[in-house]
Structure 1
Amino acid sequence: MQSSKVTVQVLGSSIQDDLVIWIGDKLMKQHKLPAHQPVTLKFGAWKQQARVVPVPKGDGVRIQPDLARRMGLKAGTQLRIQYKATSHTLILGPVIAVLVSRSYPQFQDRPFGAITAFCKELTDACRSQGAFVYFFTPNELGSQSSTIQGWSYADHWFKAEFPAPDVLHNRLTTRKLENKPSVQHFMKEVKTRYRTSVFNEKFLNKTEVFQALQQEQNLQRYLPESYLFKNYAMLKSMCSKHPVVFLKPIRGSLGKGIIRITRMSDNSYQCHFTNVNGARKQNFPKLLNLFTAISGKMKANRYQIQQGLQLMEVAKRPVDFRALVQKNLEGQWELTSIVARIAGNQHFVSNLARGGTLSSVKEAVAKSNLSAQARNDLSGKMKRAALDIAAGIESQIPAHFGELGIDLAVDSYGRVWLLEVNSKPSKNDNTQMDDTKIRPSVRRMVQYARFLSGFVR
């Protein structure tokens, strides 16, 4: 369905007894809107009967202050407009809501703390494409799912009541918040009652991902041997097959809690445990001694046991890669970026929170210990792997995802492997923040929301 990007103007006072929308006559003709006739005005879940009045030689859309207040709109908002003649419905939107973990209302210029810059960038991206976005936290959820207390930006951050959205992007950063009954009820309610599209609706865990992708024949080449850790027999089996084995918390992030087990030449074992300052090392004469030492951790949290890989290195530091794949304006997976992450000193994981540094793929490969043959078409191999894995996640896991952070490894022979998939990728992991422009990853989020809500053209 055709849509046009328009500027919403708010009149100085409500000069009509009934609700009126004034629309430029060119737009009226373009969308075949009925002049002086009642229509249903729709903005997200909000609906209201109103009368359309053409404005000769006018452009944009003009609404009354009371109407703007009920919609949560400020003058100058950029939106798209559609008209469905069959239902006499005039649609303004799309309305996008982003569910974030917390807000700090006492700081008016930084109401979302460290992610405020991203929220402002997303607001700018929406304005440039003709979309409306607001942000809210689990604490703002009330008994009514039709309206939400949230935050939006128009020259400054303001709080208002907004309608339930056309598209909801779940950016909650903890499972505890995501699993709150109020959050789960809200997401279910808006999907069923208002047909809201909710994407990145759940966290993924490592076991779930690897078990799902094992079902896809074409993806098995990317999967290191990996199981949900159960007992000593499994540890013994994996350590007999692989010189290095990793134990990873299935719900871990930022490299927390990872244990690397290395079989030494005298058949003793060395453990490296991640911590804030690097890696703590401990030696064990027998595997059973090692298992006894770590079994407490295994009882407290579930772990994934995974084949260790001989990763490519830069200056003797292991390197992995974060690929960001996102749905685009056509609803198809597309690669937005791949960056190399080089582990810091005294660390064996590459996360930025553990002292890792970012690099372009080209620069990292040029400085690596890979042979010329292993470097051949490496970027192309990683792109294909990332897109294949995203398609596999979509096919095998019953949840809606619009973007995925896919962590890849390249071994010393140039083979690409999957390390893990993150359904809540950090916006700062991919490219550096730049105040002067909107990043491709943020633009694409808005494009996918437009696809989901039908505001494509």
Structure 2
Amino acid sequence: MGKLGKYNFMKKYKMIRAFLPDTRKATLSNIRTMLRLYGSVYLKPDEGTGGHGIYKITRGKNNFILRTGSNALNFNSLNVLFASIQKILIRDKYIVQEGIVLLKHNNRPFDIRVMVQKNGEGILDVTGGIGRQAKRNKIVTNYHSGGTPLPIDTLLKSHLNDESRKQYIQIIEKLGKDASTVLGKSYRSKRAFGVDIAIDYKMNPWVLEINTQPDMSIFNTLKNKSMYKRILRYSKIKG
């Protein structure tokens, strides 16, 4: 399944439904409706990874702003904007996702990757969590698109005190495990899930995406290697 298939499957489950941002096929009608509802949306390739080919559309007072990478273009109408990228959207089967205003640290937005893996008994364990801070003026946080990997605790210091941070990280980890448990009902042979979680300005967490072939190398960028070693150890467990 691509992003839309995963979303449609997961939203059937009450335990995770409220944490899923609205996601639809990227048609002009859907984009217009969702801009009216949310003010901004992200356009993503249905099967893309690594933050490549992502667009953000924001509705202004009398214009629409299209951003990709660190570039921004202004359009007087959504029709003209859509026409400028329509071929790409059709070719790569894009989805449109509700725009979540990401929490920021040092004026740069970030999200979180939670690693969930099966242990020797086939039970899902949270084996790691890392923050990804967007490069200045970029709309994506992905490590391979210039994002900076940082400990989650560091990124949350701007917003929560010590005890609150510990509790909130536990909430994030549980959400990552719950999301993996739900998607794992469809991906029974998968032993690892990389859950991308956004936090909005009200401190609400959102499951943006779940990668069923998560890149583990990002965890090796942290000074403390214990998390990376645990992830590697789990990756060698045979199903």
Name the CA distance, whole Å, in 2 between partners of 1:323 and 1:404: 8
Superposed CA offset, 1:169-192 (max 9, x none): xxxxxxxxxxxxxxxxxxxxxxxx
The Cα offsets for residues 42-62 of structure 1, whole Å up to 9 and x where unpaired, read as xxxxxxxxxxxxxxxxxxxxx
1:218 and 1:270 map into 2 onto residues whose CA distance is 35
Higher helix share: 2
State yes or no: 1:350 paired with 2:141: yes
* Structure 1 portions without partners, runs of 5+: 1-203, 453-457
1:54-105 deviation line (CA, Å, top 9, x unaligned): xxxxxxxxxxxxxxxxxxxxxxxxxxxxxxxxxxxxxxxxxxxxxxxxxxxx
CA drift at 1:228: 2.1
Q: Give yes or no for the alignment of 1:362 onto 2:153.
A: yes
| Residue 181 of structure 2 corresponds to residue 391 of structure 1 | yes
Partner of 1:315: 106
- Runs of at least 4 residues off by over 6 Å: none
State the aligned residue count.
Answer: 236
**Which of 44, 49, 65 matches 1:253?**
49
Per-residue deviation, residues 402-426 of structure 1 (Å, max 9, x unmatched): 0011111111111110111111111
Structure of higher RCO (CA pairs closer than 8 Å, 6+ residues apart):
2
One-letter amino acid of the counterpart of residue 32, structure 2? K
**Does the Cα contact within 8 Å between 1:375 and 1:414 map onto a contact in 2?**
no
* Equivalent residues of 2:151, 2:222 under 8 A apart: no
* SS at structure 1 position matched to 2:203: coil
Q: 1:408 aligns with which of 185, 190, 197?
A: 197
| Alignment root-mean-square deviation, CA | 2.1
Displacement of 1:331 in angstroms is: 1.3
- The residue that corresponds to 1:206 in the other structure is 3
2:174 and 2:208 map into 1 onto residues whose CA distance is 15
Per-residue deviation, 1:392: 0.3
CA contact (8 A) 1:322 1:430 kept: no
d(CA) in 1 for partners of 2:160, 2:64: 30
> Residues 324 and 404 of structure 1 are in contact (CA less than 8 Å); yes or no, is this contact kept in structure 2?
yes
TM-score normalised according to structure 2 size: 0.92
Q: Give the secondary-structure state (helix, strand or coil) at the position aligned to 1:270.
A: strand
Deviations 1:185-222 (A, max 9, x none): xxxxxxxxxxxxxxxxxxx5211211110110111111
Are the equivalent residues in 2 in contact too, given 1:260–1:272 (CA < 8 A)?
A: yes
Q: CA deviation at 1:376?
A: 7.4
* Partner SS, residue 431 of structure 1: helix
Q: 2:83 matched to which residue of 1?
A: 292
Residue type of the alignment partner of 2:79: L
Tell me what 1:281 maps to: 72
Name the residue aligned to 1:108.
none
C-alpha separation in 1, matches of 2:62 and 2:118 = 48
Give the counterpart letter for 2:172 in structure 1.
Answer: M
Contact 1:322 1:339 in 2 (8 A): yes
Offset of residue 346 of structure 1? 2.3
Q: Is the alpha carbon distance of 1:412 and 1:433 closer, same or farther for their aligned partners in structure 2, counting shifts above 3 Å? A: closer
Q: CA contact under 8 A between 1:244 and 1:308: conserved in structure 2? A: yes
Give the letter aligned to residue 383 of structure 1. E
CA distance in 1, matches of 2:82, 2:15: 35
Contact 2:115-2:193 at 8 Å conserved across structures: yes
Give the direction of change, closer, same or farther, for the CA distance of 1:374–1:220 in structure 2 (3 Å limit): farther
